Structure 1
């Protein structure tokens, strides 16, 4: 739900809601019951102060969702995940991991009544695509793009893609160089090696796309040439 939607439902201005979210000021006490109903919770939960979600607890929640899905069924894992996401509404990092896990499990396990879960997952992706955390925003946007393409909603896919900002600074590259300058050669090497593996994976995806186009156009020789050059490139990168 956007700030504008919250403002409209409560009869206040969007800037006021923005200030609440940023902690600059707080809503009038008379609005608390309406806020609680809006977010499908109660006033006590809304006013509670949960501690910051630590990495260890984050991982514990992920493992528990996985266990529940495997041992007690998808619905149990889904309900637990939703409960934890409501408990930690500001942890977009947790939300994207759980949403992607639930999404993948929904497809792989062929869950009966899957259409009942789909809207919740789609709404989560739409919300997370507006996250202030770049990595979360990019992952959610990628999932929305993939879904739009799968459903042949190409204009929607392009619109989402156009909204993703170009990266002007290569943080990974800068980090590897910094490690090397600091004499942390093992860390630098590990960072560069991870980059090589990812580049190889990206290259494979691009080449497969070119081969598919060539085959669809009946250009078998071009497809074979792409495959041959890909093999040479992977050998140069030290990839099988």
Structure 2
């Protein structure tokens, strides 16, 4: 917060008018008005009396702090937005530089300032200017050294976009290194760079890897929610989530086995013998197609390991053993259809 704003803020807290404050300090009311509007500054000899009059320390008066509060950052960003609307880009830009100079260690502020001026420049078609670009880029780069991972990743993301717009893809790729290998945004942006640089096969492969991972992740998340629904004794929601898992497998073309297997547990809990055995039969009959997702056009650029016959045989045998578990399937013991299934 600037000196003028600090004076105005604490003068109002003290319920003092500009005239009253001026009288107590031995200056004129227009002088106080100029301080608050940042048209001039108090004489250095007045700083102590001003602080004492307002009931604050000199540090507070002069804003000698390394960090701003989130509220103060938001206020500065809003003021920047207002200046961009009411003033020329150059005037607002020079004001923003001074704000960053006042709080050089506030990484969130400098990153937000860079974003708002970069975005405004693009949306309003401000002519490209080397001074603007270099300064905005320098703020992004400074944020890369933050101890806050969120700020580092956001800065790297903005730099990737900055250089992609300039078609400097080698530099854009450089900043992808700030993303962890596990971060899907890294692969997604890499795929965009592949596409922009004519590496179509690599772009397809990157997107397909993301898609395959998305299925696995979403499937686990749905299953987690399904287990919560069971824990909450909400059978209706559990059934609905099991159906969503089936739809997910169908959407991602994972094959019949993955579509049907999600129904087994809920049918077992409901002790629906016919439904349980039907699911068991379909799981066994579709086991041989468990790797059919490899044939889907969705994953045509991915290299999957071949599903060997002994793997399928072992899968079927393990399924049969599982289907004989007394605790889960003891209620099927006298069912002839079940007996035939597990003994075939």
TM range (shorter): 0.3 to 0.5
Normalised by the length of structure 1, the TM-score is 0.48
Normalised by the length of structure 2, the TM-score is 0.34
Task: Give the structure with higher Rg (CA).
Answer: 2
